[in-house]
Structure 1
Amino acid sequence: MEALNLVLFVVEAVAYFVLMVTLLHFRHRLGLGVFLTALGVMHFMETYLAAVFYVSLPFGDVSPGSSVFFSGKLMMILMLYLWEDAATVRQPIYGLFLGNLLTVGIAWVLQLHQPLQLSSNHMPDVDFLKEMGWLMIWGTALLYVDSLGIILLYEKLGDFFRRRVVLRFMISGFVLLTFDQIGFFAALHYFLDVPVAVFWGGWKAKMLSVCLYGAMFAIYEYRIRRLGADAAARSISDVFGDLTFRERYNDLLERTGRDMLTGVYDRTRMELEAPLMLREALRQGLSATVLIIDADHFKDVNDGYGHLQGDVVLKSIAARLGTTLRSSDRIFRFGGEEFVAVCPGTNHEEGLLLAERLRWTIATSVKTPDDSPVTVSIGVATADEDGTSFTTVLSAADSRLYAAKKSGRNCIVGRSGVVKLG
């Protein structure tokens, strides 16, 4: 019987992870609300099972509600943070906490009624509602602390294991689910007189769950999410997508934030997207390089040939940047004659080579009306060597652009100084 229960335990964990990660994976098509709703509706069942439903496993008596489903919820919250942000994570936690308070409040109000007994076998159990309500409030309060703790610990572990995403994921789960087991068992022991022996079986089961979820997270992260990114980006047709004209909306969104002159993305779009691109690259254990490209002596072009000719030169530069950069890179007009390229998955040495290719391409193909070559200076900085935030990396690239200007222009400056002189 214990062996069968263990098999069912693993099946439940796998089924929960596959379903929830599928909803999270397609959140941009289905809507994040689908994932959050599925996460929330399980809360009552998790608490109820943790209070009354236990099975025997080879290492002790455990509740699937706590060991499989609540453990899975906490790991899903960490994954939600990794792919979204902390502001998104707090939404389901606040919703659960307020909903549970409402459950307790309604249970107290219902006591004022005189209910009818429509069936001899079924009577309303208000005491059960109150008891479960208080347990859910305590469980949600712990979930709030667990969520903050697991996110902060995951980030702190980045100081030691920045590129070991799965290891950080599992260590964070081990530590916070140990804390949760202590906190929630205290409530079970106080309210329901659950024996102390159950504590150790539940803790071992939660550790097993973290191992299972960590293994599945690794498989998803390295075999499905990265390799299947193109497939995941394809539209999922459903009646809601048709009714809301999703294709038209996506087209409008793509055209929003474009620089009217050059057609590349503008500074506002950069401030929204570039930090996310860097954070996603670092989360995957990859580098991300930022280039600032500035047209040399561009004021002379405007003064000598007029602003219309200057606009033609800017358009030509933007066109060369667009055709030289890769599809995964993004180019933004930073202002005036400056452009910023964000290149995820690119280390510093690769960024310098890319910058040289851009410099050479523009110098050999963009001309002024009198057929003089137009050159650019480029500053290069890379996350995480030059910082982990986009603002920090951009500032480093800007300082190196200034150094390139002082070094005679038509050159590239990286971390080690001038790389290529024209």
Structure 2
Amino acid sequence: MEATNLGLFVLEAIGYFGLMVTLLHFRNRLGLGVFVTALGVMHFMETYLAAVFYVNLPFGVASPGSSVFFAGKLMMILMLYLQEDASTVRQPIYGLFIGNLLTVAIAWILQLHHTIEMSPGNEADFGFLKEMGWLMIWGTAILYLDSIGIILLYERLGRYIKRKVILRFMICGFVLLTFDQVGFFGGLHYFLGVPLSAFWDGWKAKMFAVCVYTVLFALYEIYVRRDGIPAAARSISDVFGDLTFRERYNDLLDRTGRDILTGVYDRSRMELEAPVMIREAQRQGLYGTVIIIDADHFKDVNDNFGHLQGDEVLKAIAGRLGTILRSADRVFRFGGEEFVAVCPGTDHEEGLIVTERLRWTIATSVKTPDGKPVTVSIGVATADEDGVSFTTVLAAADDRLYQAKKSGRNCVVGRSGLVKVG
């Protein structure tokens, strides 16, 4: 019996991780909302299972709702942070917090109704609503602290084990789920009378779940996801500011320095921010890649179809850049039909892979009014291998862009020369 339950426990963890990581990995195609909705929709079920559904495992009695699904949710929030940034991950954190409070508020209001029993033995269970209401409030508050805490701890660990991403992932899971077990079990014991003997069993189940999720995360990192930004270590105050909306005072600045046509940042903003991004990446022991993209034969588009159609082509190119590059990267309009992307935490080989994907995406999806594909030429350079300052790296990328045009256009040129000709 215990062996069967353990097998199902692992199978549930694998299934949950597999589905959620698939939604996370393809978020640019499916939309981040699909991942966030799937993440939040199970919270009531997790809380209910943690309250009443327990099984025998080799290391004690535990609830899959708490040790598999809630633990998985917390690790997914950390994975979202690793692939995006704090300003993105705060959306599900606050969404879960507000949504769960709304659920509890509605449950309390429903208790004011005079209900009708439509079939024998199926009357509304107000005692259950009250118990779950208090438990949901307590669990939501703990989840909020867990979510912020796991990200802050991950960044703190980055000061000591910067490039040990998998180890940092596991340690964060151990620490925050231990904190969660203390906090949430206190609520279970107070509201539902769950015996104290279940505390250690539940803790061991959560630690086991962290081990399972760490193995799955390692497989994903090694075989699926490109390695890059996770090694970065940001200051705790910066991350906390992003998670708690402190950056809102920068909103006015964010609205300035934008190119009116394409919506990306303009050259003046590039001259202000790009050098800082490159310096900061090097300070953290990371690479910083600079990419220059130039639309091929763009003058012909303007001459043959007019400047309005040329503008549409530029907007389409800028849009494709936004779908391929990460939120941590910055895109600037350099002038005319040229764009510059600055990618911190990206080495040269990784930059070449991304730019070739970018080149292919534009060539297969952006077209002129007569249906001909629009292509781009791209030059790639990386700090500190091509220089230590942004200006030096930009000059190297510009020189490689010139080589790409001489090579027939619709191609990427990096340090070792031509990457691929379309």
For Structure 1 versus Structure 2, the TM-score category normalised by the shorter chain is 0.5 to 0.7
* Residue aligning to 1:346: 347
Contact in 2 for aligned 1:257/1:266 (Cα 8 Å): no
Letter in 2 for 1:193: G
Distance 1:276-1:188 versus aligned 2 partners, 3 A rule: farther
* Residue aligning to 1:195: 195
Q: What does 1:42-53 align with in structure 2 at a 5 Å threshold?
A: 42-53=42-53
Letter in 2 for 1:39: L
Distance 1:215-1:270 versus aligned 2 partners, 3 A rule: farther
Q: What does 1:110-129 align with in structure 2 at a 5 Å threshold?
A: 110-129=110-129
Distance 1:342-1:46 versus aligned 2 partners, 3 A rule: same
* Residue aligning to 2:32: 32
* Residue aligning to 2:262: 256
Contact in 1 for aligned 2:278/2:390 (Cα 8 Å): no
Q: Which whole-Å deviations, capped at 9, do the CAs of 1:61-114 have from their partners, x for residues lacking one?
A: 000000000000000000111112222222222222223322332233223322
Q: Provide the rounded CA distance (Å) in 2 between the counterparts of 1:281 and 1:203.
A: 40
Using the TM superposition, name which of 92-101 and 118-127 deviates more: 92-101
TM-score, structure 2 as length reference: 0.60
Tell me the C-alpha RMSD between the 2 structures: 4.4
Distance 1:382-1:267 versus aligned 2 partners, 3 A rule: farther
State the 1:197 CA deviation.
1.2
What are the ranges of 5 or more consecutive residues in structure 1 without an aligned counterpart? Answer: 228-252, 260-264, 293-326, 351-378, 387-392, 402-422
Q: Provide the rounded CA distance (Å) in 1 between the counterparts of 2:68 and 2:282.
A: 30
Partner of 2:224, secondary structure, is helix
State the 1:163 CA deviation.
1.0
Q: Provide the rounded CA distance (Å) in 2 between the counterparts of 1:11 and 1:280.
A: 40
Q: What does 1:9-408 align with in structure 2 at a 5 Å threshold?
A: 9-226=9-226, 256=262, 266=267, 287-289=287-289, 342=342, 345-346=346-347, 381-382=383-384, 397=390
Distance 1:219-1:272 versus aligned 2 partners, 3 A rule: farther
* Residue aligning to 1:2: 2
Q: Provide the rounded CA distance (Å) in 1 between the counterparts of 2:281 and 2:83.
A: 8
Using the TM superposition, name which of 85-94 and 139-148 deviates more: 85-94
Q: Provide the rounded CA distance (Å) in 2 between the counterparts of 1:75 and 1:280.
A: 26
Partner of 2:42, secondary structure, is helix
Letter in 1 for 2:192: L
Contact in 2 for aligned 1:267/1:334 (Cα 8 Å): no
Contact in 1 for aligned 2:67/2:202 (Cα 8 Å): yes
Contact in 1 for aligned 2:189/2:195 (Cα 8 Å): yes
Distance 1:339-1:114 versus aligned 2 partners, 3 A rule: closer
Q: Provide the rounded CA distance (Å) in 2 between the counterparts of 1:174 and 1:191.
A: 25
Q: Provide the rounded CA distance (Å) in 2 between the counterparts of 1:45 and 1:170.
A: 25
Counting matched residue pairs gives: 297
Partner of 1:159, secondary structure, is coil
Partner of 2:41, secondary structure, is helix
State the 1:268 CA deviation.
5.4
TM-score, structure 1 as length reference: 0.60
Q: Provide the rounded CA distance (Å) in 2 between the counterparts of 1:134 and 1:20.
A: 28
Partner of 2:61, secondary structure, is strand
Q: Provide the rounded CA distance (Å) in 2 between the counterparts of 1:276 and 1:159.
A: 19
State the 1:134 CA deviation.
1.6
Identity percentage of aligned residues: 65
Letter in 2 for 1:149: G
